[in-house]
Structure 1
C-alpha cells in the first residue's frame, strides 16, 4: 500500500462538522430524534457512556444534538520552548502556541504560561540598553526615546492587563476557518510595567486631524524580503488615549519574554492582541485609518451583519474588530477530572473587552439550569475577573461544567458560535468534562 493509499483517521471535530446527526449515529449508535433534544436511547446512550468511561450521564436528556462531549474534544500535544511551560504548539513558522486552560488558573498569568502569537520572525538583537522608540507623524514634537528615557520622563505604572488573540476559539468553527486553530488558550492576564501610551502621545503633541495610530515592530517578514513587514496595526486616537494602554518594558516584574515582545511592546487590552505590537520601534500618528499589513482586506475584520455558516461575504462588507466580546474560561477543574466525591470548587476568569463583567453563571446539566458564581472585581481596568463556586453533583456519572459570563451592558456569552469567514471572536460557553466515580 502506497503512502497515498493508506487510510487516514478523521478527527471527531471533522466528523461532527459535516453532519452532526449522522456522526451521532456513526459514533454512538443514536439516531436523530426530533422530539427530544439530544436524547440518547438504548445502545446509543450506553455507547457514549462507554466511550467516556462511565456508567451514566445523568443529564443526557439536556444534551444538544451533535454535541461532542468535552472529554472527547481535547486534542492537544506538548510544546517545549525555553522559558515556557506546558504550551501547545499550533505553528512553528512563525511560532504560535497556546496555554491549556488549567494552566491559566493564576490571577496573574506567569511569564512562562503566557501564550505566543507571532506573525513574522522575531528580532535577535533585543538589547534593552540601545533600544529606541520613535514617535512621529501628525505630532508637534517628534520623539526618539530609549527605555531609560521612558522610565525617567514618564510615570511608570504596573497594571494587570488581559490580552487575547482575535482568533482565540477558531478551532471550533464549522465550517472551518483558515488560520491558527486556537482553542481556549490564546489569552493571558500578566502584570505589565511601563508608561502610559497616552502620556507619551501627549508629550509629542497630537495635531488636529489625527485619526489613528500606526504601530511598527522589529520583527521581519517570513519571506526574508528586506523592508517587508509581517504586521503593522493601529487603533483610533480615542482608544490610544485610554489610561489602560501601556508601552511596556517589564512583565511580572521581570524582563519581557523574547517571544512576548522583549524588550519593548505595546499592551492595548480589550482589543485584539494584534493591536499590541511587540518589539515596538515606532508609533506613527496618522490622518487616516492605518493601512499597514493585517489592517486591510479581511484581516482582523468581521462582516458588519450576521452571516450564515459558510456564507460568502463581499470584502467591502467587513469592518475592523475593535472591542473584544464578553468571555469566560474555567481553569479548575481540568477537563477530564475524575472525582471520588460529589462536591467540587469551580474556578476561572471572565473578561469583556473595554467593559467589566457583571455576572458569571455555571451549569452542570447542559444548560437546563444555572447557578451564579462569586465574582471578584478586576484588579484594575482591563484586567480579567476571578470567579468561583462550589458545585454539587447529584450522582455518579459524566458531567460537563459550563460557564457563561454577562458584561456590564447586560450582554451574555452565547451558546453557539457567531460564525464569520476568518474565525474571529468566538465567545461561546467554555465547558469542561468531569466524571464522578
Structure 2
C-alpha cells in the first residue's frame, strides 16, 4: 500500500476484501472492460485466473465476494454465525429471538431431508415440550362446520387414513437476501427449504368429518407457541389459506417426520404441512383450525405480510399492501448441493459432476440448466421425477472446465409452465417475498 496526501491507499485485493462493490467499480472502469491490470488484480483477489473473463457481464461482482452477504445470518462482513444444537448440523443462525436457522445448500445433498439438516423457522417462543402421552394432544376444528370436533392425536390416527409423503416446505422469505435494496426480515439465501418425509392424516378428511358449511371459504391456524412479548392473549402467528388448498390431498395434519415422532423444535407432537405454499401455513404445535367465512385476519395476515405486489412498485418505497395479493404457490428455485460455495478443487480438475434439487410450489420442474462461463452458454442437466406430488426434484449433470482458475457455477430451473428463474430478484416488496434469481457458486481450481 502507498500513502498519498496523508491517506493510505488500499490494493485492489484489499478493496475486494473490505469494499467489494467499490473494488468492482474500479476494476471494470468507465468502459466496463475487464482486462489488463484490472483483470490481473481481480484474479489475484479471487485466488486464480478467470478463464471466462471475456464473458463476465459488465459490472459483475464476483460471487466469491457477493454471495457470503446473501447467505449469512448477521449484518456486516465475514463468516455467518453458526447454530450449535444437539443433533443438528452447523446451520446458519439467522436469529435467536425467535430462533431461525438456515441450511447451507451443500448440506441438502440428500433425497429426503434429515432432522440434522432441516432448517428452523419460528415466529414466537418454543413452547414447553409435552410431558405426558403425546397421543393425548388435542386439536379443535370449529367455525363454519356442522359438527365442531375436538380430537386427540390418538383419535386422529385411529379414525382417519394415515398417509406418508415426501413434501417440500419452504419459508415464504427464502431468497430474501438477494433483493436490492435490502428488505425487512431474515436474510435467507436459498436454504430455507426442506423435503422431509411426513406421516399424518389428510386435513380434508378431518374437515369432511366436521361437515363444511356452504359459507366455509378460508382457514385460520393456531398453535401453542407463545408470543415473544409473553402476552397469553396474543398468538405468535395465526395464518390461514383458501379452502381449496386445505382440501388438497397433500395438505396434512402430521405427527411423524422421517418415520419418527416429530422433533419438538419442528412442531411436536402435531403440526400442519401445507406443501408448496409459504411455510408459515405449516403451523407448528397445532391446537386449532378455525374455518372462516372470510379471509382470515390473524397475526401474519393482511397488509404486506406474506403478500406480494400485483403490479411492480419502486424498490425501497413504502407500501401498506393495499394492492398486494396473498402469496400462495412458491416460485421455481434450484439449489446446488454437490459443491459448497467457495470450494477449492485440485489442480488439473477438468470436469465437475454436479447435483442438486429444484422445485416450483404446486407445479413441477421442467428443466435445470448450468453455466460455468457467466451465462454465455448453458448445459442442460438431467431432472428426475418427484417422488410424489409436492416433493422436490433432484438433478444431476456434468460440466467441463478448460483450465485451472476461478469459476462460477450458475444454475437455474424452469417450471412446468415455462417460467425460468430470473437473472435478478424481481417484484421487490417491503418484506422480501418471492426472490428467486439464478444462483451462483464460486469454485477455485488449482
What is the TM-score with the length of structure 1 in the denominator?
A: 0.92
The residue number in structure 1 matching 2:62 is: 69
Residue 150 of structure 1 corresponds to which residue in structure 2?
Answer: 156
Greater shift, 313-322 or 425-434, is seen at: 313-322
Q: 1:421 to 1:23 in 2, by over 3 A?
A: farther
Could you list the structure 1 runs, at least 4 aligned residues long, displaced by more than 6 angstroms after superposition. 10-14
1:400-411 map, 5 Å: 400-411=408-419
The 1:11/1:270 distance shift into structure 2, 3 A limit, reads: farther
Q: Distance in 2 between matches of 1:194 and 1:45?
A: 57
1:48 partnered with 2:46: no
Distance 1:286 1:13, change over 3 A: farther
1:351-371 Cα offsets, whole Å, 9 max, x none, are 000001111111111111111
Partner of 1:379: 387
- Measured against aligned partners, the alpha-carbon deviations of 1:238-260 in whole angstroms (never above 9, x if no partner) come to 11111111110011011212111
**Cα distance in 1, alignment partners of residues 153 and 381 from structure 2:** 42
RMSD between aligned residues: 1.8
Q: Give the secondary-structure state (helix, strand or coil) at the position aligned to 1:432.
A: strand
Equivalence for 2:108: 104
Once the two structures are superposed, residues 269-306 of structure 1 have per-residue CA deviations (whole angstroms, 9 ceiling, x without a partner) of: 11000011000000111000000001122111111112
Q: Given the alignment, which residue of 269, 279, 282 partners 1:276?
A: 282
Write the distance in 1 (CA, Å) between the matches of 2:322 and 2:119: 32
The answer to whether the aligner puts 1:428 opposite 2:437 as a matched pair is: yes
Residues 354-406 of structure 1, C-alpha deviations (whole Å, 9 max, x = no match): 00111111111111111110000000000000000011111111111111111
* SS of equivalent residue, structure 1 residue 171: helix
Q: TM-score, normalised by structure 2?
A: 0.90
User: Where do 1:321-400 residues align within 5 Å?
Assistant: 321-340=327-346, 341-400=349-408
TM-aligned CA deviation for residue 23 of structure 1: 4.5
Note if contact 2:176-2:183 (Cα within 8 Å) is conserved in structure 1: yes
Q: Distance in 2 between matches of 1:171 and 1:270?
A: 20
111, 117, 142: which one pairs with 1:113?
A: 117
1:244 aligns to what SS in structure 2?
Answer: coil
Please state if 1:57 is matched with 2:50.
yes
The offset of 1:338, in angstroms, is: 2.0
Judge conservation of contact 1:215–1:232 (CA < 8 Å) in 2: yes
2:206 equivalent to 1:212: no
CA distance in 2, matches of 1:173, 1:15: 19
1:140, distance to aligned residue in structure 2 (A): 1.1
* C-alpha distance in 1 between matches for 2:81 and 2:232: 35
- CA distance in 2 between counterparts of 1:208 and 1:136 reads 14
Q: Is the 8 A contact 1:325 1:427 kept in 2?
A: yes
CA contact (8 A) 2:178 2:437 kept: no
Q: Is the 8 A contact 1:219 1:230 kept in 2?
A: yes
Contact 1:413 / 1:427 at 8 angstroms: preserved in 2?
yes
CA–CA distance in 1 between the matches of 2:137 and 2:45? 55
Q: Is the 8 A contact 1:83 1:257 kept in 2?
A: no
Query: Is the CA contact (8 Å cut-off) linking 1:169 and 1:183 kept in structure 2?
Result: yes
CA deviation string 1:293-346 (max 9, x = no partner):
011221111111122322333431122111100110111111122222111111
What is the distance in 2 between the residues matched to 1:284 and 1:314?
26
Conserved 8 A contact 1:362-1:372: yes
1:25 and 2:29 matched: no
Task: Provide the residue aligned with 1:221 in structure 2.
Answer: 227
- Are residues 1:182 and 2:188 paired? yes
Instruction: Provide the rounded CA distance (Å) in 1 between the counterparts of 2:185 and 2:59.
Output: 24
